[in-house]
Chain A
Amino acid sequence: MSETDQTRRNFLFAAAGGMGGIAAAATVVPFIGSMLPAADTLAAATTEFDVATVEAGQLVVIQWQGKPVFVVHRTPELLKQVDGHDAMLKDPNSEAIEAVSAEWITPENRKYRAIKPEYLITVASCTHLGCIPLFKPSPGRAEWGDSVPEDWPGGWHCPCHGSLYDVSARVINGSPAPHNLHLMPYKYLSETRVVIG
């Protein structure tokens, strides 16, 4: 066989093999694609809730897109607990990533992280690995023992790896969680009815 013959063959082998390889790799697309959330899973996207059903000082956990969501009715005392410990927070102004902020945030409600300060609504998944933190609203250790630090401002304690959040769900320094609890889009349909999502 002559020299030119061989190079042409090699080229054809490489070309055919390469095309075949690309085609084989492309079949991955539908298979992996089938594993992404299905259309009906994506469609179940909003939840309606009446915040008036939450007693003052109480926390409820509701469901949105299969994810847990906190709704807290903050009393005036709880709202005061938001102040005075900015130095302890990783991200006091909720600016680190998009998911901790919202378009309705104003300079006035920034520290409350809520449209109506008395009703805090956040995604309830710890930003570390997704456990649901425990609500430990009263400041100090009196009620909570050493599961919280001595200068505890009140808020949430995650049972899984010990992350701490204040009463505006802002993460406290030293927690394994990187971010404040996420906010999700919601709006008030009436005085007390909210639609989440």
Chain B
Amino acid sequence: MLEKMMKSKLFGWIDERTGAEAIIKSQLTEYEVPKNLNYMWNFGSLALLVLVLQILTGIFLAMYYKPSAALTYGGYTVAFDSVERIMRDVNFGWLIRYMHAVGASAFFVVVYMHIGRGLYYGSYKGPRELLWIIGVVILLIMQGAAFFGYLLPWGQMSFWGATVITNLFGALPVIGEFLQEVLRGGFAVGDPTLNRFFSLHYLFPLLLVAIVGGHVHALHVVHSNNPTGLDVHAGKSTIPFHPYYTIKDAFGVGVFLLFYCYVVFFNPQMGGYFIEVDNYVPANNLQTPPHIAPVWYLTPWYTILRSFESKLIGVLAMGASLGILFLLPFLDRSKVRSARYRPVYRQMVYLFFVTVIILGYCGHSAPTPTLKLIGQISTAYYFAFFLLLPFVPMFEKTKPLPEEI
């Protein structure tokens, strides 16, 4: 079908003025992709899909949402009421809001799988270092966007989550207090905070679009890694992206939508994991809920923060746990990419995945001495994983690599 379209007169007219044919060829029909990619390679296109869904649903939510902490006659606030109005009175408002709230969690599920894939198969290694680094920037901006968005419904979790996180910035020496004021626009989280968070919540996803563009461009320069981690040679072990991977990605979209729609229609709050129960209580700046925890996708980092006695060290450790991802390509000195051929790294990376899940669990639960200890041990391994990487090649006996995939 694409070939037929490209032969039409209209396409010829457009091509003369845009060079469209050369772009389609170099990026799709003649863009070479290893033939052995498994389903772990589907999560990139899914992330793109969810990003588009978030922007689309977000734009429609913004038509009814009102970012104001002013009190209403009902005793609630304008922002809280506007979200409830979206849920009850706006046509299909419930659907669009649930798509957006579930979409935020889906975004992180998909992106964490995508990152895990990169870790396991060594996709961060040369020549893909910059591709990986751009990916980490995307992760940070996503976390920012989700954090800003979570304040908007102005529920108890929104309010106290934002209070805790803006206080984190306050803990930094010298610039801390200034940063905190810039984020809050007042002495405490309040109406000015809500307004600026809405503005930034609109901005960050659009930043993401630009950076994702850079990510895909960087990918198309260095091409995809593959489960063997071998360098591949065009023609012999590759197939064109279109139609082979467009169809495979489309199949992935179908499977993803099955899960996504199930959650949106039948279980949008996911038992308090996707929308926390306390967030249906309007924000009250004079009472902290008995147990506050961030949404699941931020809990691993929250546990790292909580694992230290000193506030400053906790904050720095949390920053370092994300920052160290930037250094990963330079810490890992092994010449072999894929964990398939690296017995030691393979065990390490599996344990790393388990550790991050444990960290997430600890961060979601109310603090107890046992969980604190488990969290501290997990935090230690989280960092040890990265810091051991330069030394692993000294003793790891990698398995023989195949000649060609």
Give A residues with C-beta under 8 Å from B: 32, 35-38, 41, 61-63, 65-68, 124-125, 128-134, 159-162, 174, 176-178
Contact = CB atoms under 8 A, between A and B. Distances in A.
B311 A177 contact: yes
Contacts of A176: 306, 308-311, 314
Nearest to B314: A176
Contact of A41 (B167, B171, B185, B290): B185
A129 B172 CA distance: 12
Interface in B150-207: 160, 163-164, 166-168, 171, 181-188, 190, 192, 196
Contacts of B290: 134, 159
A150 B42 CA distance: 54
A66 B182 CA distance: 16
A132 B292 contact: no
21 contacts: A35-B185, A36-B181, A36-B182, A37-B181, A37-B184, A37-B185, A41-B185, A41-B186, A62-B286, A66-B188, A124-B286, A129-B168, A130-B166, A131-B160, A131-B288, A159-B288, A159-B366, A160-B292, A162-B367, A176-B306, A177-B311
The 3 closest A-B pairs by CB, nearest first: A66-B188, A130-B167, A65-B187
B285 interface: yes
A66 B292 contact: no
B309 A68 contact: no
Given A129-B163, A161-B367, A63 B181 contact: no
Interface of B: 160, 163-164, 166-168, 171, 181-188, 190, 192, 196, 285-292, 306, 308-311, 314, 366-367
A68 B285 contact: yes
A178 B310 contact: yes
B367 A35 contact: no
Given A61-B287, A63-B285, A130-B167, A37 B187 contact: yes
A66 to B, nearest CB: 4
Main secondary structure of the interface of A (DSSP, over half): loop
Given A38-B192, A66-B285, 11 more contacts: A35-B196, A36-B182, A37-B181, A37-B187, A41-B186, A65-B186, A66-B187, A68-B286, A131-B164, A159-B292, A178-B311
A161 B318 CA distance: 15
Contacts of A38: 185, 192
Contacts of A36: 181-182, 185
Given A66-B285, A131-B164, A131-B288, A161 B185 contact: no
Contacts of A41: 185-187, 192
A130 B309 contact: no
A106 B164 CA distance: 33
Contacts of B306: 161, 176
A131 B292 contact: yes
A36 B183 CA distance: 8
A67 B288 contact: no
Contact of A131 (B163, B190, B310): B163
B286 A37 contact: no
Contacts of A134: 290
B185 A160 contact: no
A65 B311 contact: no
Contacts of A66: 186-188, 190, 285
A150 to B, nearest CB: 13
A11 to B, nearest CB: 34
A66 B254 CA distance: 48
A77 B17 CA distance: 87
